[in-house]
C-alpha cells in the first residue's frame, strides 16, 4: 500500500488535517520535497528527526505562506523586508533573530536564538501552509545522509510509511535546496549555496555576500553551538535519583522521576519534544542553583538528546 496521494482539493484538506493533528506530510516545494510538521507541535517536530534518522537536532526551516507570518516569527528590518519582497516566494531562506518565544518553537529552532524562515514558490506548499493555519517545519523528505527527494516516489522510497501522507505534485523545478543567508549581522553571510544564485542577491542589494567557511550542513560551528545550549545554571547529566544533590533541580526520565520528567513512559520521542522547553524551565526556576538530569538511553532520538545535554553540561 502506498501513501502517495495525487494533489486535489480533497487530498489537500486531508493533508492539512494531518498537520493540524500533529502528523507528518511530505509535500512538494520548488526546490525539493519537504517533510512537514506543525512548527508549534514539538512531538510532531521530534518525529521529523526520528523518521529521518537525523542524529542531532539540527534546526529546521519554518515555511510560511504570507508575509505577515514572517514578522510574527522573527525580527525583521528594511533589508529583510526588501529581500523577501524581491525573492519570495522562492528558493531563499533567511536566518533571522527569533521573535516568537513560544517554547513550543524551541525544538524547531534547536534552542538557538535565531531561526530560519522561507516562503516556498510552489502552489501546493503555499496552499498546504494556508489550510493548516500554521507555519510548517520541513527539512528535505529523505533519510539522513541520503539524497534530497525531487519526486513523490523518491520520498516513498526513502521514508515509506514513516510519513502519514505524501502529497504528489510532480517533479520539483529547482531540484536543489534553497540558498541560506544569515541576516543577523550587518554583513550578509551565505551559509548554504542553493537554488538562488549569490550574484542575484548581490546585484539586488548592491553589496557583497560573504561565503561561510563552516560546514554547510551545520547551523553554526560546534563551538558556537556549545555556547547556545549552555543553560544559566551548572548542569550534571547521567545522574540517578539517589545520586542527586539536594540543591539540584532534577529532570527525570522514565521511572527516574524528578521535578520534571521528560517522559514518564520512557518514550524518547516525547523526551525529545520536551527537552528544550524543560531546560528553559529548569534554568528559570529560582529554588535550586543547579540542574541534574537522569540518564537517557543512547539509542534512537536518545543520541540527539545526549548530544545536546552533553554540550550543555560541558560548558559550565
Contact positions vs ligand TXA (CB under 6 A)? 29, 31-32, 34, 58-61, 93, 95, 112, 114-116, 118, 120, 138-140, 177-178, 180, 191, 217-220
Sign of the alpha-carbon torsion through 243, 246, 247, 251: positive
Query: Quick one: what does residue 74 bind among ligand TXA, Mg ion, none, with the CB cut-off 5 to 8 Å set by partner type?
Result: none
Of Mg ion, ligand TXA, none, which one sits near residue 154, judging by CB under 5 to 8 A according to partner kind? none
Residue position matching grid coordinates 520535497: 33
Dihedral (CA of 73, 251, 21, 59) sign: positive
Minimum Å distance from CB 140 to Mg ion?
4
By a kind-dependent CB cut-off of 5 to 8 A, residue 291 interacts, out of ligand TXA, Mg ion, none, with none
Q: Which does 252 bind (CB under 5 to 8 A by kind): ligand TXA, Mg ion, none?
A: none
Given Mg ion, ligand TXA, none, residue 151, with its beta carbon under 5 to 8 Å by kind, binds none
Record the cell numbers describing residue 299, joined without a space: 539509542
The 8-class DSSP code of residue 19 comes to: H
Q: Which is nearer to ligand TXA, 174 or 251 (CB)?
A: 174
The least distance separating Mg ion from the CB of residue 52, rounded to whole angstroms, comes to 8
Using CB distances below 5 to 8 A depending on partner kind, what does residue 158 bind out of Mg ion, ligand TXA, none? none
Does 140 bind Mg ion (CB under 5 A)? Our answer is: yes
Instruction: Indicate the residue among 139 and 231 with the shorter CB distance to ligand TXA.
Output: 139
Rounded to 10 deg, the angle between the 9-20 and 123-132 helix axes is 50
Binds 180, which of Mg ion, ligand TXA, none (CB < 5 to 8 A, cut-off by type)?
A: ligand TXA
State which residue, 3 or 140, has the beta carbon closest to Mg ion.
140
Q: In the 8-state DSSP scheme, what is residue 132?
A: H
Cis upstream peptide for 10 (omega within 30°) = no
Nearer to ligand TXA, 138 or 305 (CB): 138
Smallest distance from the beta carbon of 236 to ligand TXA, in angstroms? 28
Closest distance of CB 232 from ligand TXA, Å: 21
Q: How far is the CB of 58 from Mg ion (least distance, A)?
A: 9
Contact call for residues 151 and 157 (beta carbons, < 8 A): no
Region near Mg ion per CB under 5 A, out of 35-43, 60-68, 135-143, 231-239:
135-143
Is the Cβ–Cβ distance between 141 and 34 less than 8 Å?
yes
Cα 22 to chain centroid, rounded: 15
Q: Which stretch binds Mg ion (CB under 5 A): 80-88, 136-144, 161-169, 234-242?
A: 136-144
Phi then psi for 115, rounded to 5 degrees? -150, 160
Identify whether the C-beta of residue 179 lies closer than 8 Å to the C-beta of residue 190: yes
Q: What cell does 41 get? A: 507541535
- Residue 307 phi, psi (nearest 5): -60, -50
Nearest alpha-carbon partner for 93 in 207, 199, 194, 214? 194
Segment contacting Mg ion by CB under 5 A, of 58-66, 139-147, 164-172, 236-244: 139-147
Class of residue 240 by CB neighbours under 10 A (exposed 0-12, middle 13-18, buried 19+)? exposed
Amino acid at each position: 500500500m502506498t501513501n502517495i496521494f495525487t494533489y486535489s482539493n480533497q487530498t489537500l484538506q486531508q493533508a492539512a488535517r494531518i498537520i493540524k493533528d500533529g502528523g507528518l506530510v511530505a509535500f512538494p516545494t520548488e526546490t525539493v520535497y519537504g517533510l512537514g510538521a506543525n512548527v508549534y507541535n514539538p512531538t510532531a517536530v521530534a518525529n521529523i528527526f526520528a523518521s529521518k534518522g537525523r542524529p542531532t537536532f539540527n534546526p529546521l526551516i519554518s515555511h510560511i505562506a504570507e508575509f505577515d507570518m514572517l514578522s510574527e516569527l522573527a525580527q525583521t528590518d528594511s533589508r529583510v523586508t526588501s529581500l523577501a519582497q524581491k525573492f519570495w516566494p522562492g528558493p531563499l531562506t533567511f536566518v533571522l533573530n527569533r521573535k516568537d518565544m513560544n517554547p513550543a518553537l524551541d525544538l524547531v529552532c534547536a534552542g538557538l536564538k535565531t531561526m530560519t524562515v522561507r516562503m516556498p514558490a510552489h502552489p501546493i506548499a503555499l496552499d498546504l501552509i494556508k489550510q493548516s493555519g500554521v507555519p510548517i517545519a520541513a527539512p528535505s523528505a529523505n533519510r539522513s545522509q541520503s539524497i534530497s527527494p525531487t519526486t513523490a516516489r523518491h520520498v516513498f522510497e526513502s521514508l515509506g510509511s514513516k510519513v502519514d501522507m505524501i502529497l504528489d505534485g510532480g517533479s520539483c523545478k529547482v531540484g536543489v535546496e534553497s540558498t541560506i543567508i544569515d541576516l543577523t549581522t550587518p554583513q550578509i553571510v551565505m551559509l548554504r549555496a542553493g537554488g538562488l544564485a549569490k550574484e542575484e542577491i548581490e546585484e539586488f542589494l548592491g553589496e557583497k555576500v560573504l561565503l561561510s567557511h563552516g560546514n554547510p550542513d551545520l547551523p553554526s560551528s560546534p563551538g558556537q553551538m556549545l555556547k547556545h545550549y549552555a543553560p544559566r545554571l551548572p548542569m550534571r547529566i547521567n545522574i540517578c535519583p539517589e545520586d542527586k544533590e539536594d540543591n539540584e533541580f532534577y529532570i527525570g526520565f522514565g521511572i527516574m522521576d524528578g521535578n520534571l520528567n521528560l517522559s514518564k513512559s520512557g518514550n524518547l520521542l516525547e523526551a525529545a519534544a520536551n527537552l528544550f522547553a524543560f531546560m528553559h524551565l529548569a534554568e528559570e526556576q529560582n529554588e535550586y542553583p543547579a540542574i541534574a538530569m537522569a540518564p537517557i538511553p543512547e539509542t534512537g532520538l536518545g543520541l540527539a538528546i545526549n548530544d545536546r545535554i552533553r554540550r550543555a553540561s560541558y560548558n559550565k
